[in-house]
Amino acid sequence: MIDAKEYLKKMSAELDGPIKSYIGDEEPKNLMDSSKQYPYAGGKRMRPAMAVACCGAVGGDRSKAVPLAVAVEYIHNFTLIHDDLMDGDEVRRGMPTIHVGYGAPTAILAGDALFAKAFQIICDLDVPAEKMRDALRYISQAVWDLARGQQMDVNNEGQLVTEDVYIETIKLKTSVLFAAAAAGGAIVGGADEKTVKAINEYAIELGLGFQMFDDYLGVAGDPAKTGKSVGNDIRKGKCTCMVIHALHNIKDPKELEEFKSVLGNLEATDEQCARAKDIMERTGSIEYGLNLARQKVDIAKSKIAFLPETEEKEFMLALADYSINREV
């Protein structure tokens, strides 16, 4: 059985050179340096690994998917730069965020530069024009949907939304880029339309499970490992499936009022946030969120059951499990 975490490390090392090969030493230096910081720093690199694996899983030459993998990683990091600026986050991967280190104008331009470079890289794909067009359609639609999801996330902050709205938001904000990487890799690998559709659906469900588990870690994770304060999402009023469940299932009116008073309160103390977490635990809301993530991953794995038994398929299945069994 493949260890997804170790396999990701191996694939990340293989992709490290290509990821670092597309941004040169042009002027201005501060734009080049800021554009390189996030993609060159590493991270899980799940999306580019997925692009390469899905290419191999359908019988394609994995090396042909590498430019697509790099492009997807650049797009992912472009969204992180803008996301950090919008959220006012000051640290990522142990370093000052781009807007902190270089200023907001350069951060915006660095994100834009990575976005532009990604589409330039896709032009390096060694595939027929029709396949390149199909891959571009998935990637460009994903970027459009990412913007929609980010705005929905901003609009939802501090608001009580339905679980359906929450799921649609995280699908657009998180799942679609996983799906574009997976479907794009399958297209480069020569898969037929039915197979591409199934692999796209696999990645959508995996992305949902991944984000739901991310939200779970934001409340129940170990801050020493996640690097995130357990109370941050509660203070920001992030309306996760766990929060939605809690608001509908807290029976004691006093506890409900207490929970609401902490949710979205940027001045809430650690003690108040811990109390809110305790209420969520006793209501079964944290377990509910975790079970929902598990359900999404089970659906994801069922979508690719028909693929031939290969190392790449085994990794895709292991990656789905890893997405809801990680510490960070």
The residue type at 304:
I
Beta bridge partner(s), residue 92 = 95
- Distance in angstroms (rounded) separating the CA atoms of residues 280 and 231: 13
DSSP string, 248-273: HH---HHHHHHHHHHTT-TT--HHHH
Mean pLDDT on 117-132: 95
Domains by residue range for the chain, with CATH: 4-322 (1.10.600.10)
- Distance in angstroms (rounded) separating the CA atoms of residues 292 and 220: 15
Q: Three-state DSSP class for 279?
A: helix
Mean pLDDT on 223-247: 85
pLDDT at 28 over 90: yes
Q: What percent of the chain has pLDDT over 70?
A: 99
> pTM value?
0.94
Place of tokens 């657009």: 172
Beta bridge partner(s), residue 91 = 96
Q: pLDDT tens across 278-316, in order?
A: 999 999 999 999 999 999 999 999 999 999 999 999 999
Question: What was the pLDDT predicted at 227?
Answer: 65
Beta bridge partner(s), residue 95 = 92
Mean pLDDT on 131-160: 93
Question: What was the pLDDT predicted at 42?
Answer: 85
DSSP code at position 28: P
